[in-house]
A = this chain, B = another copy of it.
Amino acid sequence: MDIFDLPMVQDLVRQAFAEDVGAGDLTTQLTIAPEARARAEIATRESCVVAGLPLIRTVCELAGGGVEITECVAEGTDVGPGDVLARLSGPAHVLLTSERVLLNCLQRLSGIATLTARFVAAISGCGCRIVDTRKTTPGLRVLEKYAVRIGGGFNHRMRLDDGILIKDNHITAAGGLTPAVAAARVGAPHGMKIEVECSTLAEVAEALEAKAEVILLDNMSIETLSRAVRRIGGRAIIEASGGVTLDNVRAIASTGVDIISVGALTHSAPAIDLHMTLFLE
C-alpha cells in the first residue's frame, strides 16, 4: 500500500477539494465550455527538491479524471528555475479545478524536502542523521514526514504510540529518571528502544546507568554536547535537539551525535514557488 493510497491521504485530498471548490468553480463554469480540453505544465520558479508528484494522479482522479500525466522528473530530483515537473493533458475543467489543490500540496511538500536536503547537505560526511519531529501541520503528518524522507532525512517517531520518549514531565511524575526508565521498560513493547531526554551531564550519567537505549541531548551547547558524547561512549544512540539551524548544524554533527532533530523542517519550511500553465486545445 503506497503512502498515497492510504485512506487518510485520500481523505485529505477530498477535504482539500471540499474547502477549495465548495459547490463548484463558478468562473470556469461560466467562461469555459465543459467539453474543452487542455494541456498543462507544472513548473518551478526556484531551485528545489521535488516532492509530491504521485499526488498529481490522486488529485486529478478526484477532480473528475481523464487526465494523462507525464512526470518529467523523478520524485526527489533537484530541479532549477523554469524546470518542468510534469505535463498534463485532459479536460480543461478538471485541470483548472485541480490546479490550486495540486500546487498547494506540491509547494509545501517540496518546500519541506528542499529544506531537509539543505540540512542533510550541511552535515554531509558526518555520519549523522537529520530527523523530523512531531511539530507538523495538523492533518499533514504522514505527507510531511514523507517529504522529509524524500529530502534525505529520516523520521523520528510518527506518533505518541510508536516510540518511548521520556521527557522531564515523565521523570518528575515517576519520581526520577531511573524509576521512569524502569517503569517504561516494564511495559514498553519489546521492539521499541527507550529514549530519555537529558539536559545536563548528570542526567546523561543517570540515563546511562538506567540503560536508556537512546539519549536525547536537549538544548546543549556544542561544548556540552561534545562532553556528553564522550561520556556516552557508544553505549547509547545519541540525538541532539533544540535550536538547530543551518548555521550550527554542522558543528552539532561534528560533536559525534548520531541524530539531529529539527522541528523547522516541517513547521517553518517556506513553500516553493510552483505554477501551472494551461494551454487550451
Residues of A within 8 A of B (CB): 1-3, 5-8, 12-34, 36, 38, 62-64, 92-94, 96-98, 100-101, 103-105, 107-108, 111, 129, 131, 134-142, 145, 154-167, 169-174, 180, 183-184, 186-193, 195, 214, 237, 239, 258-259, 263-264, 267-268, 270-271, 278, 280
A33's nearest neighbour on chain B, judged by CB, is: B173
Q: Is the CB of B1 within 8 A of A97?
A: yes
Q: Is the CB of A5 within 8 A of B64?
A: yes
Return chain B residues, CB-CB under 8 Å to A280. Answer: 169, 172-173
A134→B102 CA distance, assembly (Å): 12
Q: Is the CB of B184 within 8 A of A27?
A: yes
Q: Is the CB of A30 within 8 A of B191?
A: no
Return chain B residues, CB-CB under 8 Å to A161. Answer: 21-26, 158, 162
Return chain B residues, CB-CB under 8 Å to A94. Answer: 1
**A-B pairs with beta carbons under 8 Å apart, 19 shown:** A1-B17, A1-B64, A15-B138, A19-B159, A22-B160, A22-B161, A26-B164, A27-B165, A28-B160, A31-B166, A97-B160, A104-B137, A131-B190, A156-B189, A162-B162, A162-B189, A190-B214, A191-B193, A264-B271
A65 to B: closest C-beta gap in Å:
8
Q: Is the CB of B278 within 8 A of A271?
A: no
Given pairs A5-B63, A163-B189, 14 additional interface contacts (CB within 8 A): A7-B62, A15-B139, A23-B141, A24-B160, A26-B188, A27-B160, A31-B171, A96-B169, A104-B267, A162-B189, A173-B280, A190-B258, A190-B259, A192-B192
A24 to B: closest C-beta gap in Å:
5
Give the number of copies in the complex. Answer: 6
A110 to B: closest C-beta gap in Å:
11
Q: Is the CB of A3 within 8 A of B27?
A: no
Nearest 8 interchain pairs by C-beta: A162-B162, A22-B161, A16-B138, A267-B271, A22-B159, A268-B270, A1-B97, A25-B160
